[in-house]
Amino acid sequence: MSNRNHFYLSVEDIRRARGADPALSWQGSSPDDLAAALQESLRGAGLFERWRATQPDPDEVDTSLAATDPQATASAKVADLHVDIDLVTDLPMRVVRARLGWLIGSSWQLRDMRAA
């Protein structure tokens, strides 16, 4: 049985969607760029490792946040005046939330979540 979930996310102003730390923050400009960055951040541990290195005691970081999903998929499209993101992954919401926070801060909203 699969634990994959389909997350439906929304970003109101993609131009201002940036994380607090420029070294971790998404620097793109299009919905496709954002989807690619999110997908990459979930498929590999690179973003987590960069974040971990900035922590006062990297060895004390909760390693469950390092989880990855090599089959994670993300797509994004403009809808009205915002961007909709469709994300499919088996990662828990706490990992998705952390990666989104590092990439785009609080500029996103979870609209719905369903089993994939």
pLDDT tens sequence across 14-56: 999 999 999 999 999 999 999 999 999 999 999 999 999 999 9
Determine the Cα–Cα distance for residues 62 and 30; give it in Å rounded to an integer: 32
Long-range contacts of 19-27 (CB under 8 A, 24+ apart): 19/101, 19/102, 19/103, 19/104, 19/105, 20/105, 21/51, 21/54, 21/102, 23/50, 23/54, 24/50, 24/51, 24/54, 24/102, 24/103, 25/102, 25/103, 25/104, 25/105, 26/103, 26/104
User: How do residues 43-99 score in pLDDT, each as one tens digit?
Assistant: 999 999 999 999 999 999 999 999 999 999 999 999 988 999 999 999 999 999 999
pLDDT at 4: 96
Residues 1, 63, 107, 27, CA torsion sign: negative
Q: In the structure, what pLDDT confidence band is assigned to residue 1 with cuts at 50, 70 and 90?
A: very low
pLDDT score of 2: 63
Q: CA nearest 93: which of 113, 116, 73?
A: 113
